[in-house]
Amino acid sequence: MNAILIKLFATALTLSQVTTRPDAVRTRFDPATDGPEVVRLLRDGCAHMRKSFDIEDINLDELITTAMEDPSTVAGPAAPKILHGLDLNELNTSYKQFCKGENPANSPFDAKAVIEFYDNATKDLPSAEALRDKALPGMTRILDGAGKPFAEASEANGRRIVVPITAVPALVQKAFIAAEDKRFETHHGIDERGVIRAFIANLASPGRPAGGSTITQQVVKNLSVGDDVTYERKIREMIVASRLERILTKPQILGLYLNGIYLGRGAYGIEMAAQSYFGKPVGQLTLPEAALLAGMPKGPNFYSPDKYPDRARERRAYVLARLKEEGAITEAEMAAAIKADLGLKPIETARRDSGFYVVDFLNREARTFAGVESLTSGSLTVRSTINAGLQRGVEEALQDGLANYERSTGRQVFTGPELNLADSIRRIQAATPAPEATAQAAPAVTGARAEPPRPDAKARRGEKVAAAPQKKPAWLLALESARPVLYDVHWPMAVVLETGRGGMKVGLSDGRTALLDPGIARSKLQLYDVIRVKVASGKGGLRAQIRVRPTVQGAALVLENQTGRILAMAGGFSYPLSQLNRVTQTVRQPGSTLKPLTYLAALNAGLQPNTLVMDSAVTLPPIGATGDSWSPKNYEGGGSGPTTLRRGLEFSKNLVTARLLQGGIAPKAPASLKRVCDIALEAQIYAECEPYYPFVLGAQPVRMLDLAGFYAAVANEGARPAPYALESVERDGKPLYARAAKEPVRIASADRVAFYQLKTMLQGVTQHGTAAALSKVSAYVAGKTGTSENENDAWFAGLTNEISVIVWVGYDNADGTRKTLGRGQTGGHVSVPIAAAILQSAWANGIGKTPLRGPSSEARPFIADLPIDPRSGVRVAGGAFLEHFRTSGDGRMADTQYRLVPRETLYAMRPDAQDGDLAGDDGASVAGDYYGNMTGERPRADFLDPFGERPAPRSRRAQGDMDLTGEDPYKPWPGQTSRSPFGGDDDVRRPRRRDPDYLFGEDPGY
């Protein structure tokens, strides 16, 4: 028996059973004994089919005879693949045997072969009950902190919003039934007439085979058996559909169908399609909108209104005509709907290009706190803390900053274009018909002068004539439909249009063209390559500069100080390149961003910000009499003698930080280290603290999210919030999780006064210290730079009254090796500019910009603001810098200026009484009275004063810890060019600084 005929008979056996005995469909027959039963079932089924066609007064014999008149249609190369190999004579003989009661001697029918194929096809059938109870994969809607749509999360085929059938207007239901299954209300899952018509159509017409599937069958196909074009799938589909009709009502089946179908634009289900195409829920669809969507299940791509609007209109007209035939609409309603515009909302609004790291983090939080398997496991509503505008700004700032770093250091590597559109452009050009020649364009020459074209009626009446729409070039159509690989990179895409010696030209997504500066990609680009660019106006028109994907990585976080709400998070350069979230899933050495812990411990122990500390070599003994002693070094190598506690932090002195362990916090260094560790543990920066001295310089890796919590605590005078991004999760309006309001937890290891003093010292870092690029906004921002050993990590951790901003830049260590950013590439140089852009974005997106607050009402009674000389820390009569001193609350203040550096030590370093000059440790000349005498007069430059007046240094290395003098070193430095990314006409020249935060060893790394 012919193989294709075996499959046809097995399919006919299925159809016979589900139409004549739907309550007793057998899925197993015995090949040896059930042959006569199969013959009987086939004959019963054919008789039933003939009666069904008699209802419509159609001669089934004539239909089949007509279809079989041309044997090449069935057996030839143009026949549908599903019918390849079918023998026309065998088919005709079989039809006469089972449908006309004949008993031909040469019957090809082999019951055993048919039964074996049928039994194999019906193995492991899904149950109808499982489909009834199956939850459709749905799309989760994620809302931002303002309650507006922010993102979507769904499975590959699950971008849908499930709605009850009662929410779908009756007219919309009728439109889909009219277009897809006009006998839906009367059949029992299988429309036998539709199946036979499809079979005959397959015999008579080549192309994709028609299936004759009902809405019920499509539900089964979508939810269970798949859409393979095979006889096996068709057999399984018919049996399960028949069973499903017995346990579900018609409205329930229609609801499964309308929620399950794919309708283009990545939308599954009627509700998602209504929102994607028209920006409204299904309940608000108009007649033409409903008809347009109802026409799309037949071919969402073929009838796409975005790609083929004419086809979409024709299909819509067909659906409207069917509704008119069914009496659902009037002639006038049909005519008006046919003339209506498509009314589509732009397809771009359906695409998301931001927040992928955030969504991944929300998914993890939802699994932990709400108990949901994932955000794609059902239709959920998730409310987040994210500021959508700031989120995009953070991503842009990080991407630009990483690219700028590589471009400025010569580390760019061009690895090729993002994609190439040559094939797409060729297909578009091939599908675009050539312009028709018109008489006006090419008049016939007959000896007479060609008559010019006549204006149309409107033009003759003087009315304005609408210009004919300009067709988009093929490259623009291809660019608009292209799916970028780096879909969350915010640089514009451009397609290369010219590569000649005269210059390179690119096309932009808005249809304009621009001259291209290819940079390092010169001679590496080909026609129709898609690249990323930065566009600017220039002489001769638009100019585009290529943007190359960096290999360096980074991360950024913005945290709301009072609440712990995560307002923005970027876990890397681009989520498609790496799903590793470097904010929450990695730990890196924080470098000097951890130094504030040590200074906080010292302030809490009673030291004042003007306390002098020796910036000179120090060796700390082994901890517990085991191990090695520790001798850290400054970034610039040497030391600068006595310096104030404030200046030690502002200019990130490693030796000052280390010396605080020698009596600045506790009498012995190990005990001091333990107190610093205690604060770190209570602040939840670490789960455990490694007891070794380099810890105070940031040698122990930290998670960015945990570091942010500490800086938020500094802004709050010691109250640490718990960072979070998930506010609530709902399913069908029912709450699954809602975060309870939590007050920040106070860090008891240090009091409010110490935290406030620390904040003012961190403000000095941004005013004129290692983050002086932020000096223009230092009234609003405090912070600390940090760089780990060998410049492997560059950090900035900053705070305002409202938010904390953390930025990290470095190379991943996935291959087990650590890669340096390069000499001089410190936190102040690499990360501060990124943070500056983030701050600007925050202020532009609703975050308050307010001067840093003074002490709280609880701390104010214990703080005295007294004038000091900013270089020496000595109290003066007035007019200088106001330092914030701890008091006992009754006006008494402990003077700790000389606690760590006794006066005797300082006098020993003074000029001798004879000539007033003495060579210092580094050979520099010292002169004058270093401390002054409370007169308010400014002392002369002194070797012991690292900020005194002196000529500008000749090398970067010599710039280590010096200030160019002004009347107040705490104000922006005059006579220097600012590296501030904030710009402005009053920019001044500033020497380039690098943070002296080297951890240890002979080769400075920070």
Residue ranges, the chain, pLDDT below 70? 1, 52-91, 100, 197-212, 225-228, 348-351, 433-470, 910-1006
The pair phi, psi for residue 669, each rounded to 5°, is -60, -45
pLDDT at position 87, please? Answer: 62
Q: Which pLDDT tens digit goes with each residue over 675-690?
A: 999 999 999 999 999 8
> Are residues 602 and 899 in contact, defined by beta-carbon separation less than 8 angstroms?
no
The pair phi, psi for residue 230, each rounded to 5°, is -140, 160
Q: Which pLDDT tens digit goes with each residue over 879-931?
A: 778 999 999 978 799 999 999 999 888 888 766 533 333 222 322 222 233 33
pLDDT at position 574, please? Answer: 97
- By three-state DSSP, how is residue 368 classified? helix
The pair phi, psi for residue 381, each rounded to 5°, is -120, 115
**Which two three-digit tokens encode residue 289?**
């909108």
- By three-state DSSP, how is residue 86 classified? coil
Q: Which pLDDT tens digit goes with each residue over 316-356?
A: 999 999 999 999 999 999 999 999 999 998 875 556 789 99
pLDDT at position 198, please? Answer: 64
> Are residues 641 and 700 in contact, defined by beta-carbon separation less than 8 angstroms?
no
pLDDT at position 779, please? Answer: 97
**Residue 689: burial class (beta carbons within 10 Å; 0-12, 13-18, 19+):** middle
pLDDT at position 709, please? Answer: 98
Distance CA 10, CA 231 (A): 8
- The whole-model pTM stands at 0.77
Closest listed residue to residue 1006, CA positions, set 707, 755, 634, 703: 634
**Which two three-digit tokens encode residue 696?**
């105070």
pLDDT at position 210, please? Answer: 52
pLDDT at position 75, please? Answer: 45
Distance CA 770, CA 992 (A): 10
> Are residues 209 and 4 in contact, defined by beta-carbon separation less than 8 angstroms?
no
H/E segment holding residue 557: strand 553-560
> Are residues 276 and 139 in contact, defined by beta-carbon separation less than 8 angstroms?
no
The pair phi, psi for residue 244, each rounded to 5°, is -65, -35
> Are residues 813 and 552 in contact, defined by beta-carbon separation less than 8 angstroms?
no
Count CB neighbours of 615 within 10 A. 25
